[in-house]
């Protein structure tokens, strides 16, 4: 009789964690950060046909890095969770904290019980009426949750991006200032790998605009991103919420 090779639980968990981290490191970076009138989602996404950011509910947004099919399943599940809870109870009962808890249970179960872990990291953000009321939760492949103080960077070069944000981020930045900071940090990381600049066409940008009364998620078109980055600061923010900016 032959027996399979024994692997200790500690080694098994370590191997799964290493496997997940390697997959995540291959994913292009995403930055989520609060600014004066909302929360910005800035992703390096040249194709932009597969979205890395999304609306979940009225004041809640989602961002992810890693394997698309895995985080897309969680995104859809989060929308269903939010819709059901809002319909069954009250729209105010749908919170980023509750959604992060549901995601943590799913990720933790997959990490410990399935044959392979999810190769993803996700962020769930909820915009408040004031900057100090914004909530940003980061969830890793094993279901760990952290409440991030104002910003988070995920994907490859996340440590470098986090350090840059820690040194230069401020809660009162305008959208133009925040976008410029994110693009500069992403561009510096990109140049170390490819020796080329990062252009607005390679970015996926969205915001949760706290000035909107209900549905706050807005996608920012490339033309507006270019204006915010190149007009010398004359345009510090988006047009008023009454103006049209495509939401998807």
Please report the pLDDT score of residue 93 as a whole number. 93
Give a yes or no: residue 157 inside a domain.
yes
Please report the pLDDT score of residue 194 as a whole number. 67
Give a yes or no: residue 18 inside a domain.
no
The 10s digit of each residue's pLDDT in 103-153 is 999 999 999 999 899 999 999 999 999 999 999 999 999 999 999 989 999
Give a yes or no: residue 15 inside a domain.
no
Residue 92 belongs to domain with CATH number:
3.60.20.10
Please report the pLDDT score of residue 244 as a whole number. 43
pLDDT in tens, the chain (248 residues): 555 566 788 888 899 999 999 999 888 899 999 999 999 999 998 877 789 999 999 999 999 999 999 999 999 999 999 999 999 999 999 999 999 999 999 999 999 999 899 999 999 999 999 999 999 999 999 999 999 989 999 998 899 999 999 999 998 899 999 999 999 999 888 777 666 678 889 999 999 999 998 899 999 999 999 999 886 555 677 776 654 444 55
Give a yes or no: residue 131 inside a domain.
yes
Supply the angle between the helices 96-113 and 9-25 in degrees, to the nearest 10. 120
Please report the pLDDT score of residue 241 as a whole number. 65
Please report the pLDDT score of residue 35 as a whole number. 95
Supply the angle between the helices 158-168 and 175-194 in degrees, to the nearest 10. 150
> For the chain, what is the domain count?
1
Torsion of CA 225, 230, 233, 237, to 10 degrees: -10
Please report the pLDDT score of residue 243 as a whole number. 46
Give a yes or no: residue 110 inside a domain.
yes
**Structural domain that includes position 89:** 23-230
Give a yes or no: residue 16 inside a domain.
no
Give a yes or no: residue 235 inside a domain.
no
């Amino acid at each position: 009789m032959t027996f399979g090779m024994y692997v200790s639980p500690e080694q098994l968990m370590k191997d799964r964690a290493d496997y997940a981290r390697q997959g995540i490191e291959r994913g292009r970076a995403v930055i989520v950060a609060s600014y004066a009138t909302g929360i910005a989602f800035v992703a390096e996404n040249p194709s932009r046909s597969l979205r890395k950011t999304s609306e979940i509910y009225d004041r809640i947004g989602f961002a992810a890095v890693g394997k698309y099919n895995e985080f897309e399943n969680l995104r859809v599940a989060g929308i269903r969770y939010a819709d059901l809870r809002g319909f069954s109870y009250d729209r105010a009962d749908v919170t980023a904290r509750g959604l992060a808890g549901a995601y943590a249970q799913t990720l933790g179960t997959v990490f410990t019980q399935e044959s392979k872990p999810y190769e993803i990291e996700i962020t769930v953000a909820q915009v408040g009426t004031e900057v100090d009321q914004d909530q940003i939760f980061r969830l890793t492949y094993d279901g760990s949750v952290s409440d991030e103080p104002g910003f988070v960077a995920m994907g490859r070069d996340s440590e470098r991006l986090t350090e840059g944000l820690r040194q230069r981020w401020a809660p009162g930045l305008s959208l133009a200032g925040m976008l410029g900071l994110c693009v500069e940090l992403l561009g510096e990381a990109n140049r170390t790998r490819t020796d080329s600049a990062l252009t607005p066409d390679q970015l996926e940008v969205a915001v949760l605009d706290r000035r909107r009364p209900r549905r706050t998620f807005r996608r920012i078109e490339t033309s507006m991103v270019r204006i915010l980055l190149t007009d010398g600061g004359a345009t510090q923010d988006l047009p008023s919420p009454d103006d049209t900016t495509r939401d998807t």
